Chains A and B, each alone.
Chain A
Amino acid sequence: EIVLTQSPGTLSLSPGERATLSCRASQSVSSNFLAWYQQKPGQAPRLLIYGASSRATGIPDRFSGSGSGTDFTLAISRLAPEDFAVYYCQQYGSSPFTFGPGTKVDIK
């Protein structure tokens, strides 16, 4: 089973600042099948990034994903008020399709 580690656990930033979230896998993610999801309280998760770097439909271009193999990054170029949420990475290249523990981005 691939274990995903996310850092930091919490990121405290102000609107307009850049956010950089990290996701590290215990072994190489097959075909870079790495996704990022955003979840707000009381809501279902929303797909942001798939295939490590492709934005899902309707996702603003301030969100970008990068990385390959075992190290991946989600960047939010300028935080909008609606971006304060919890972000999860997930590998879907090999079963079981594991999630990271999440990074909470909150308002400083």
Chain B
Amino acid sequence: EVQLVESGGGLVQPGGSLKLSCAASGFTFSGSAMHWVRQASGKGLEWVGRIRSKVNNYATGYAASMQGRFTISRDDSKNMAYLQMNSLKTEDTAVYYCTRGAGCNGGSCHNYGMDVWGQGTTVTVSS
């Protein structure tokens, strides 16, 4: 079964840091780009950023409001993706989803948008 499971959410004070994890299973993780998307309560979806695969030099990209504060990384040996969040603000309070993006399996590549989503982990930034 193709699956993504996020963990690491919780309560953190403004200015603090938190690291989210995403455990992948059931697919060739090393060949896939991985994204993070967030959603504040009652609001829409907001793309956070992504990390590409090794063949694409693990290139990263971020939404402007998160650039410089958030860092996405991955460990292909563990089938894990991470979101390191620093200098957190109250407006970063949201459910954070890990999602699968474009990928290659052997010689076949695809770009289906974000076709697999985790269940989300909740981050609350409050004093």
* Contact surface of A with B, Cβ cutoff 8 Å: 1, 33, 35, 37, 39, 44-47, 50-51, 54, 56-57, 88, 90, 92, 95-102
Contact = CB atoms under 8 A, between A and B. Distances in A.
By CB atoms of chain B within 10 A, which of A44, A90, A100 has the most? A44
Contacts of A33: 111, 113
Closest 9 CB pairs between A and B? Answer: A35-B113, A44-B117, A95-B61, A50-B113, A50-B112, A99-B45, A97-B47, A47-B115, A96-B63
B113 A99 contact: no
A45 B112 contact: no
Contacts of B97: 44-45
Tier of interface size on chain B: 20 to 34
Interface of B: 35, 37, 44-47, 50, 61-64, 97, 101-102, 111-115, 117-120
A13 B114 CA distance: 28
B61 A96 contact: yes
B44 A45 contact: no
Contact of A44 (B101, B113, B119): B119
B45 A45 contact: yes
A4 to B, nearest CB: 10
B24 to A, nearest CB: 15
Contacts of B37: 45, 99
Contact of A56 (B44, B63, B101, B112): B112
A90 B113 contact: yes
Contact of B44 (A1, A54, A99): A99
A97 B102 CA distance: 12
Contacts of A39: 45
A18 to B, nearest CB: 24
8 contacts: A44-B118, A47-B117, A88-B44, A90-B113, A97-B47, A99-B37, A99-B47, A101-B44
Given A44-B120, A97-B50, A102 B44 contact: yes
